[in-house]
């Protein structure tokens, strides 16, 4: 059996990296005797995986973790774990996955972001439209061999719009195509001839999506 948790990472928990996050969840599971399954072998490890791990510095309100369990869990365990986990890290909901469902990590295709702008100079819908109208949007990126390569991120920007002081983004996420919000901000700044300071942009990831019949569907549903 696999259970998919939706959780959020807010406040100062954004400074906690992926591996530390996993260690915290493991402690919470142990705390409530959660019926998590372990891998077989000499060094058994708990069977859990987090979809599209978040970079340090970004908060989220819709993250997902799949956990294999041996037996049904008791629902009050979730409250107990939330009580135990540090402020800013909470389980929001869960769903039981069917036998045939693939894990969250492998199906994620997109993420929505809300980026709070500290500097609004030149950030207008017209400028954003012009930015998106470019034939290619090139950025430098390190590939798996740690070599810097130039990539076109345009096809990974599904939507980009200004809403009051926020930039809303829908970006390709996951193993097929992955565009980080910082790539978009950096190239947008370059396009608008703005100095890029990463700390002028407070990034929050709202939710993760998979693809069904050509439509993006929240992992929550």
Q: For binding to another protein (CB under 8 A), which residues are involved? A: 10-13, 15-16, 20, 23-24, 26-31, 33, 38, 42-44, 56-57, 84-88, 197-199, 202
Residue with tokens 């207008």: 124
Between 13 and 78, name the residue whose CB sits nearer to another protein.
Answer: 13
Contact 183, 111 (CB under 8 A): no
Between 41 and 214, name the residue whose CB sits nearer to another protein.
Answer: 41
**Least distance in Å: CB of 22 to another protein?**
11
**Least distance in Å: CB of 85 to another protein?**
7
DSSP string, 156-205: GEEEEEEETTEEEEEEE-SSS----HHHHHHHHHHHTT----GGGEEEEE
Contact 11, 87 (CB under 8 A): yes
Contact 146, 140 (CB under 8 A): no
**Least distance in Å: CB of 152 to another protein?**
27
Return d(Cα 206, Cα 171) in angstroms, integer: 11
Between 11 and 161, name the residue whose CB sits nearer to another protein.
Answer: 11
**Least distance in Å: CB of 36 to another protein?**
10
Between 23 and 155, name the residue whose CB sits nearer to another protein.
Answer: 23
């Amino acid at each position: 059996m696999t259970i998919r948790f939706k959780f959020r990472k807010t406040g100062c928990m954004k400074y906690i990296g992926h591996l530390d996050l996993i260690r915290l969840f493991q402690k919470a599971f142990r705390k409530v005797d959660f019926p998590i399954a372990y891998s077989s072998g000499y060094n058994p490890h708990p069977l859990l995986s987090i979809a599209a791990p978040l970079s340090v510095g970004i908060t989220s309100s819709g993250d997902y973790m799949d956990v294999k369990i041996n037996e049904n869990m008791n629902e009050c365990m979730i409250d107990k774990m939330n009580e135990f986990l540090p402020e800013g890290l909470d389980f929001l909901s869960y769903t039981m996955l069917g036998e045939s469902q693939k894990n969250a990590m492998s199906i994620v295709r997109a993420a929505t972001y809300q980026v709070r702008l500290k500097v609004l100079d030149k950030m207008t819908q017209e400028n954003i439209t012009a930015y998106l109208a470019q034939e290619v949007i090139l950025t430098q990126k390190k590939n798996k061999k740690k070599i810097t390569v130039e990539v076109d991120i345009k096809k990974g920007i599904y939507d980009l719009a200004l809403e009051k002081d926020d930039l809303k983004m829908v970006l390709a996420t996951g193993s097929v195509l992955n565009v980080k919000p910082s790539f978009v901000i950096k190239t947008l700044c370059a396009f608008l001839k703005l100095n890029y300071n990463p700390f002028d942009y407070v990034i929050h990831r709202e939710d993760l999506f998979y693809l069904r019949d050509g439509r993006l569907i929240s992992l929550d549903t």
